[in-house]
Amino acid sequence: MNIDLSRRGFLRLAGAGVAATSLGAMGFGEAEAAEAAHVRAFKLFTTTETRNTCPYCSVACGVIMYSRGDVKVGETAELIHLEGDADHPTNRGTLCPKGAALKDFVKAPTRLTMPRHRAPGASGFTEITWDEALDKIARALKDDRDQNMILTNEDGVPVNRWTTTGFLAASATTNETAWLTYKAVRSMGIVGFDNQARV
């Protein structure tokens, strides 16, 4: 009998319990099949597996996320477990004390969930809608740029730089976020532009 099964596929198959014919095909006798039928299915069977990489250091260990619900088909998905990806060439399934606790980072009590605004001198934040926040930002940028854009230097050479607004980019956002950020920031003429590689 030759069944080409991955380790994970085997576990899925062997633990499914109800797949009696498959179990038979794998050489289990009836007694084993009856026994297997009593075994509770692994909790992870009902989850969606997604490949990702650890967001911390630059080793970029492969991780597998297990979620209830599937983002790809438009469902709401909740991360319930995360482990090292045994197929990943660099980490081969291992994770460090940070990576192993990633689920609790995703669900940290201090994750932000709403845009918030702190007024000048105020002692706290108040919630604000995305539209309000984004319009406020766009207005501020437009006015500051119009007021402070340097079009030419003393020699009359076009320099088109804007120095009174600055942008610090991240260290763990995707390349795609980085490129979109680059386009937006550079097209406005901002020169005070950096990322965490500077540190």
Partner 1 sequence: MTNSWTDIKNTDLVIVMGGNAAEAHPCGFKWVTEAKAHRGAKLIVVDPRYNRTASVSDFYAPIRPGSDIAFLMGVIRWCIENDKVQWDYVKNFTNASYLIKDEFGWSDGLFTGYDEEKRDYDKASWDYKIGDDGFAQVDTTLQDPRCVWNLLKAHVDVYTPEFVERICGTPKDKFLHICEMIGECSTPTKTMTSMYALGWTQHSKGSQNIRGMAMLQLILGNIGVRGGGMNALRGHSNIQGLTDIGLMSNLIPGYLNIPTEKETDWETYLSTRTFKPLRPNQTSYWQNYPNFMVSFMKAMWGDTATEENDWAYHYLPKLDVPNYDILRMFELMKHGQINYYFCQGFNPLLSFPNRGKVTDALSKLKMLVVMDPLETETAHFWENHGIHNDVDTASIQTEVLELPTTCFAEDEGALVNSGRWLQWHWPGATPPGEAKHDTWIMAQIWTRVRQLYLDEGGVFPDPIVNLNWEYADPGDPKADELAREMNGRALGTVYDPADPTKVLADPGKQLSSFGQLRADGSTMAGCWIYTGSWTEDGNMMARRDNNDPDSTGAYQNWAFSWPANRRILYNRASCDLQGKPWDPSRKLIEWTGEKWEGYDVPDIAPTAKPEDVGPFIMNPEGASRLFTRGMMRDGPFPIHMEPFESPIANVFNPKIKGNPVARVFADDAEDFATSEEFPLVATSYRLTEHFHYWTKHNPVNATLQPQFFVEISEELAAERGISLGGRVRVWSKRGEVWAKAVVTKRIRPLTVDGKTVHVVGIPLHWGFMGAAKKGFGPNSLTPFVGDANVETPEFKAFLVNIEPAAEEPVA
User: Taking CB under 8 A as the criterion, which residues in 118-137 touch partner 1?
Assistant: 118-123, 125, 128, 130, 133-137
Site for partner 1 contains 4 (CB under 8 A): no
Residues 76-95 that bind partner 1 (CB under 8 A): 76-79, 82, 87-92, 94-95
Which amino acid is located at 23 in the chain?
L
69 counts as binding partner 1 under rule CB under 8 A: yes
Stretch that binds partner 1, among 2-10, 22-30, 31-39, 184-192 (CB under 8 A): 184-192
**What's the CA dihedral at 141, 146, 149, 152 to 10 degrees?**
160
Distance set, CA 141 to CA 70, 131, 135, 137, 197 (Å): 38, 15, 10, 6, 25
Residues near 45 by beta carbon (within 8 Å), at least 6 away in sequence: 12, 15, 16
Cα separations in angstroms, 109 against 81, 86, 98, 115, 170: 17, 30, 17, 16, 22
Under the binding rule (CB under 8 A), the answer on residue 37 touching partner 1 is no
What's the rounded Cα separation, in Å, for the pair 102 and 63? 10
* Closer residue to partner 1, CB minimum distance, 31 or 108: 108
Shortest separation between residue 154's beta carbon and partner 1, angstroms: 10
Contact status: 25 vs partner 1 (CB under 8 A): no
Residue 1 touching partner 1 (CB under 8 A): no
Is 96 a binder of partner 1 (CB under 8 A)?
yes
Residue closer to partner 1 (CB basis): 23 or 95: 95
